[in-house]
A = this chain, B = another copy of it.
């Protein structure tokens, strides 16, 4: 069976710091103006996805840990300030003040791994206006990506119950951070691990490795390449058998497995051709030789649809490497994710732009379940309303400090598994679009009308 080359561990090395200048210029020009008028009263912003695309019946919240790291570390270095100064757009008293800016606010959030829907705030930030404003672009950048990937990964997990799924997408992920965070987001959703080496020291994610076609090609014969790999490695060996002719290669594996009893071939990998047919033939070759313990691992342009087809068709495949389609969320590479001002200086606010209106004020999401524990409906309500159902948002930071340690990645992974098991059947379909019922509380609707009358 395909097995990880390394086990999970609790490691957590922080990612390299990204300059807080990775934001939209307008955050700084707005902050200059806020500074000039001392607009430092508390503001509440919320981050949410406006509506789900037709290819998503639910989302999995992810990326909170990185968002919290970002907020807790937020500060501009003298180099950052020099780069802002060099634009000529800012005045010195503002830059001095900016150098001292830290995130001192409160953060409420829906835990990572939770099933979420449109209009539901994943984060609620309450902080002095400049702090809450500045963090907009990067918070969206962090939450949007991991939520996109976790939501895609969840579809793969639903498509292949009991199978070993591995993230293979690093090379076509959109840059280094995307590759690392895709490994994290897919693991927390139920993937067994990733091929991306760096995800192991960074996040403790089990890492899987096979071999590339170039390894086989660099040898004069395929058999020679396989044997050489066995010479160099002891365990968790996966041989790639489609470089020239898959069935011929499978017979070579049989010969090798019989002769090299000092090594354990865990699995073979198929990366091209008719995977279902080839898997059956290879399985038959191995079984006839009494090599039932050698697993078959498949890869090559797979997504949740092709994996589902292989699984439903009963192809004897034990695990799947899912790469590009996962790491770029190919059918939905972006969600309609926004971060909007909902309250400032104690007064609820609302954007009314055509097609992009928001619900005002600080909000909470309440979840209602049926007697089987399945999700039934959610209510988005004012945070000040009496609770109804289970509240999804809870305090993560108070005055910039962690309320409690964040959950480990494996704890998040267990939570996601529970969440996925509570999905009603109607939301589990890969090809059918269904909308979960998300109500807006009567109090929120009334508040929106009052705000509309007030601001223009």
Interface residues of chain A, those whose CB is within 8 Å of chain B, are 5-6, 16-19, 21-30, 32-34, 36-37, 39, 43, 45, 83-84, 86-89, 129, 133, 136-138, 140-142, 144-145, 168, 170-181, 195-198, 200-201, 207-215, 217-218, 220-222, 228-229, 231-233, 242-245, 248, 271-274, 300, 324-325, 328-330, 333-335, 337, 339-341, 344, 349-356, 455-456
Smallest CB-CB separation from A237: which chain B residue?
B29
Smallest CB-CB separation from A88: which chain B residue?
B6
In the bound complex, residues from chain B placing their C-beta under 8 Å from that of A87 are 5-6, 200, 207
Q: Does B33 contact A83, Cβ atoms closer than 8 Å? A: no
In the bound complex, residues from chain B placing their C-beta under 8 Å from that of A175 are 141-142, 145, 174-178, 181
In the bound complex, residues from chain B placing their C-beta under 8 Å from that of A300 are 356
A95 CB to closest chain B CB (Å) equals 14
Q: Does A217 contact B350, Cβ atoms closer than 8 Å? A: yes
In the bound complex, residues from chain B placing their C-beta under 8 Å from that of A84 are 197
The 6 residue pairs across chains A and B that have the minimum distance between CB atoms:
A175-B177, A25-B209, A174-B174, A214-B341, A174-B178, A272-B353
Given A177-B178, A211-B29, A353-B271, decide whether A334 and B341 contact each other with a Cβ distance below 8 A: no
A305 CB to closest chain B CB (Å) equals 16
Q: Does A341 contact B213, Cβ atoms closer than 8 Å? A: yes
Q: Does A30 contact B212, Cβ atoms closer than 8 Å? A: yes
Q: Does B141 contact A29, Cβ atoms closer than 8 Å? A: no
Q: Does A29 contact B5, Cβ atoms closer than 8 Å? A: yes
Smallest CB-CB separation from A18: which chain B residue?
B176
In the bound complex, residues from chain B placing their C-beta under 8 Å from that of A28 are 197, 209
In the bound complex, residues from chain B placing their C-beta under 8 Å from that of A33 are 215, 228-229, 231-233
Q: Does B334 contact A195, Cβ atoms closer than 8 Å? A: no
In the bound complex, residues from chain B placing their C-beta under 8 Å from that of A88 are 6
Q: Does B144 contact A24, Cβ atoms closer than 8 Å? A: no
Q: Does A351 contact B209, Cβ atoms closer than 8 Å? A: no
CB-contact partner of A26 in B39, B145, B210, B272, under 8 A: B210
In the bound complex, residues from chain B placing their C-beta under 8 Å from that of A208 are 25
Q: Does B136 contact A212, Cβ atoms closer than 8 Å? A: yes
**Once the chains are docked, how many angstroms separate the CA of A22 from the CA of B183?**
11
Q: Does A129 contact B172, Cβ atoms closer than 8 Å? A: no
In the bound complex, residues from chain B placing their C-beta under 8 Å from that of A144 are 171-172
Q: Does B213 contact A340, Cβ atoms closer than 8 Å? A: yes
A-B contact pairs, 11 of them (CB 8 A): A16-B18, A22-B198, A33-B228, A33-B231, A33-B232, A33-B233, A83-B200, A172-B334, A172-B335, A214-B340, A218-B341
Q: Does A201 contact B21, Cβ atoms closer than 8 Å? A: yes
A67 CB to closest chain B CB (Å) equals 13
Q: Does B24 contact A455, Cβ atoms closer than 8 Å? A: no
With most chain B CB atoms within 10 A of its CB, the pick from A195, A208, A215, A352 is A215
